[in-house]
Amino acid sequence: MVKKVTQALKKPKSLAFLGFLILSFIIWLMITLADIYTSVIRLDLTYNNVPKEKLMLGDPDRFVDASVNASGYRLLNYKLFRKDLSLDVASFSSRRQRYFLSRKELETQLKDQYGGIEVRRVFKDTLWLALGENKFKKVKVVPDLSVNFQEDHEYSEPLKVVPDSIEIKGPEDVVMAIDSLVTEKVMMKGVKEDFNRRVRVLIPDSIRKIELEQSAVILTGTVARFSEKILEVPLVVENIPEGVTIKTFPRNIRLLCKASISDLKRMVPSGFRVVCDYNDISANQAYLLPKVVEKPSFVREVTLLDNKVEYLINRS
């Protein structure tokens, strides 16, 4: 079939007929497109020049429909190269903190932006726009970090978040309800050295309207190897009345102290203070309970190995 058509088109009469047919279609199309038609078109809306201190709230209208008169050329051009109707928010009127554009103003903006189109009617009585105040607030950043250390290794200092708080911007009601933001989840295994890790700050899906001063923070961990050391520290009994002496058994208290290996050599008994209170003695109490009331700041943990102390009272 295709072969027959190809052979027929090679004949002069066939070529002349085809050319006449194409020319007739072009003339018909030009005459048709030159006519004026009434049509309903849909215009996508964009909003420009929103004041910096304001922001759009809710879900503003994204399109309007309009009845127009235009030539076929104009309508075809609109269909092929469709462009948005750009609305200048600064031109909106205001009423009770709401902003609006009347049908007449919409029709005027449509005429200005779509030359050659006669606007018969916009099918929107009033276009409303809600604008709110942009609020700023500093909120705490909470790291979602899980660290598994190598044996005997721990943080030697508290984990640092830099910065530990960031500024957020958005609608007042949303911003004021936020006290903190969480980072993305990070899991680290076999940690034995200091680390710096850049992590994103997450915005929950429910509050996507806010903007962050910065999208990430740095987590800084200082890690050391820890060990333990036993010290004997003299026991002090406080609040002994005049004319009373007391002996304790034992006189020194053994402490199991935990610190980084580099700090173990600095650990000496004079850096600790262990006390009992004479006022805690009761008639039926055969022992005192010692307490550690002072220790060096670099000591991570202290465990009393002697947690009960017997005593003997002498009164003169």
Higher pLDDT, 93 or 150: 150
Nearest to 153 by CA among 191, 124, 104, 125: 191
pLDDT of the residue at 62: 85
Q: Rounded to 5 degrees, what are φ and ψ at 213?
A: -60, -40
Instruction: Give 166's strand partners.
Output: 139
Higher pLDDT, 61 or 225: 225
**Looking at the predicted structure, is the pLDDT value of residue 287 above 80?**
yes
pLDDT of the residue at 33: 45
pLDDT of the residue at 166: 95
Stretch 207-222: mean pLDDT:
89
- For the chain, give the number of residues: 316
For strand 153-155 and strand 93-95, is the pairing parallel, antiparallel, or unpaired? unpaired
**Looking at the predicted structure, is the pLDDT value of residue 3 above 60?**
no
pLDDT of the residue at 80: 55
Multiple choice CATH, 226-315, 2.170.120.30, 2.60.300.12, 1.10.3130.10, 2.40.10.10: 2.170.120.30
**Looking at the predicted structure, is the pLDDT value of residue 210 above 90?**
no
- Domain ranges for the chain: 2-132, 134-221, 226-315
The pTM of the full predicted model, rounded to 2 decimals, is 0.57
pLDDT of the residue at 14: 54
Stretch 37-63: mean pLDDT:
78
pLDDT of the residue at 28: 46
Stretch 205-225: mean pLDDT:
88
**Looking at the predicted structure, is the pLDDT value of residue 266 above 80?**
yes
Burial of 100-115, coded b for 16+ CB within 10 Å and e otherwise, reads ebebebbbebbeeebe
**Looking at the predicted structure, is the pLDDT value of residue 190 above 50?**
yes
Higher pLDDT, 195 or 4: 195
Nearest to 310 by CA among 291, 288, 279, 282: 288
**Looking at the predicted structure, is the pLDDT value of residue 83 above 50?**
yes
pLDDT band, very low/low/confident/very high, at 77 (cuts 50, 70, 90):
low
Cβ atoms of 100 and 75 within 8 Å: the answer is no
Instruction: Give 311's strand partners.
Output: 248
**Looking at the predicted structure, is the pLDDT value of residue 234 above 50?**
yes
pLDDT of the residue at 60: 83
How far apart are the C-alpha atoms of 22 and 16, rounded to whole Å?
A: 10
Considering the domain 134-221 in this protein, what is its CATH number? Answer: 2.170.120.40
Domains 134-221 and 226-315 are alike in CATH topology: yes
Q: pLDDT tens, 110-169?
A: 888 777 676 778 788 888 888 877 788 999 999 999 999 999 999 999 999 999 999 998
Nearest to 166 by CA among 145, 187, 182: 182
pLDDT band, very low/low/confident/very high, at 315 (cuts 50, 70, 90):
confident
pLDDT of the residue at 200: 96
Interhelix angle 12-34/2-9, nearest 10 degrees: 90
pLDDT band, very low/low/confident/very high, at 29 (cuts 50, 70, 90):
very low
pLDDT of the residue at 92: 85
Peptide bond into 51 cis (omega under 30): no
